[in-house]
A and B are shown apart, each in its own frame.
Chain A
Amino acid sequence: QVELQESGPGLVKPSETLSLTCTVSGGSINDYYWNWIRQTPGKGLEWIGYIYYSGSFRYNPSLKSRVTMSVDTSKNQFSLRLDSVSAADTALYYCARGFDGSGNYARLTFDYWGQGTLVTVSS
Chain B
Amino acid sequence: GEDVEQSLFLSVREGDSSVINCTYTDSSSTYLYWYKQEPGAGLQLLTYIFSNMDMKQDQRLTVLLNKKDKHLSLRIADTQTGDSAIYFCAETLSGTDKLIFGTGTRLQVFP
Q: Are A and B physically bound partners? A: no
Q: Which residues of A contact B (CB under 8 A)?
A: none
